[in-house]
Structure 1
Amino acid sequence: MSENTADQDEDFGPSATPGYKITEKKSIQEYQNLDANDESLKRWKESLGLTSSVPGPADDPRRVVILELALEVAGRPDVVLDLSNTTNLEEIKKKPFVIKEGVEYRMKVKFKIQHEVITGLKYLQVVKRKGIRDKMEEMIGSYGPSDQPYEKKFPLEEAPSGILYRGHYTAKSKFVDDDGKVHVQWSWSFDIKKDWS
């Protein structure tokens, strides 16, 4: 939903879901020992990868490692933002990419979970142009540690079209979990044009 407001970073937080209660933090061992005879809980733990302990590298304390965020358009190579190393974030800010007006696209994220279970991981994005803000929030979900990366595709969207929508947009994005922990936050930009160049 677009808003005609000035910069308001306090609005760059996750929405509260009525009736949703954040569960108490547990270690992987505690999750593994939960109700060993409960078949549905066993399947849930397997879906989170809690059948074996995959702690993650000792020299990397991050619980969530966002490897990349990509823009997927049928028939074109993905536009990929490499987020695996925080030193890349300044470079991303300096290099806007182009989106052709009216094109159908989807965003997708590739990430790893390390050391412990992450609940309620969300992607938040605020796009700004000429004083107009558009906020997006996408639930990624809850995941257990794994040595293999996860991938989540967002719903299909359509880029706006017409002369009023062409131009330069700035954006701010972050990944945050139920505990309010921000795992990565960065600024970037893109241009909506009549064509891809």
Structure 2
Amino acid sequence: MVDHHEDDLAATKTEGFKVGEKKSLQEYQELDKDDDALNRWKASLGLNSGTPIGQPNDPKCVIKSLALVTPGRPNVEIDLSAAGAVDSLKDKPFKIKEGAKFHIKVVFQVNHEVLSGLKYIQAVKRKGIRVSKDEEMLGSYAPNTTDKMSYTKEFNEEEAPSGMLARGHYNAVSKFVDDDEHTHLLFEWSFDIAKDW
């Protein structure tokens, strides 16, 4: 659907960083039980609590919903589990008031395996020319359990451009990708910068 955006959505690489060896959830739980620092890291991920949900054949990460959050206005929420929700985003632009402050909120579920280094990458174009590229590190997560059915992450606040030249229609493409370069969701969407809501 949107693979022609590959260059726009390339994740930033950290010099010298190598993705660690893949381990099962049980291997992580058994790993160096006497190492205090490692045990604190495992506890921060919630690796030793609850029963993991999801089956081995389920996707590792499921993006359940996205929301555009603007102070003083109702959230614009998209239920991504609804049939056709992702495919229709490109043709249903969001309206954003010029100069408005906003941020994105995502709800996602991690199934049966540790998710390492989840990132959100977005490229925005206007009239075919890229005007911005943003990358937000969401972090690493243990599988959701019956105790915690999903994760919620709020992105950094942004400010919409303002002025007559900034007003108009923008197209964007976004993806959620992990350290293994596995894309969990790739979608196109659009928005309009307007003088008012």
Identify the match of residue 131 of structure 1 among 128, 131, 144: 128
Q: Distance in 2 between matches of 1:54 and 1:95?
A: 39
Q: CA deviation at 1:19?
A: 2.9
Partner of 1:93: 90
Q: For structure 1, which runs of at least 5 residues remain unmatched after alignment?
A: 1-6
Q: Distance in 1 between matches of 2:29 and 2:159?
A: 42
**Quick one: which amino acid aligns to residue 108 of structure 2?**
F
Moved more, 102-111 or 54-63: 54-63
Instruction: Provide, for residues 86-105 of structure 1, a one-character-per-residue CA deviation record: whole Å limited to 9, x for no partner.
Output: 63211222211100000111
Q: CA deviation at 1:11?
A: 3.2
Q: CA deviation at 1:139?
A: 0.5
Identify the match of residue 110 of structure 1 among 107, 111, 114: 107
Moved over 6 A (4+): none
Q: Distance in 2 between matches of 1:58 and 1:27?
A: 13
Q: Distance in 1 between matches of 2:170 and 2:109?
A: 29
8 A contact 1:167–1:192 mirrored in 2: yes
Q: TM-score, structure 1 length as denominator?
A: 0.90
SS state of the match for residue 140, structure 2? strand
Identify the match of residue 18 of structure 1 among 15, 18, 41: 15
8 A contact 2:109–2:150 mirrored in 1: yes
8 A contact 1:28–1:53 mirrored in 2: no
Q: Distance in 2 between matches of 1:60 and 1:129?
A: 39
Q: TM-score, structure 2 length as denominator?
A: 0.90
Q: Distance in 1 between matches of 2:184 and 2:26?
A: 23
8 A contact 1:176–1:183 mirrored in 2: yes
Q: Distance in 1 between matches of 2:14 and 2:82?
A: 31
Does 2:150 align with 1:149?
yes
Does 2:33 align with 1:36?
yes
8 A contact 2:55–2:112 mirrored in 1: no
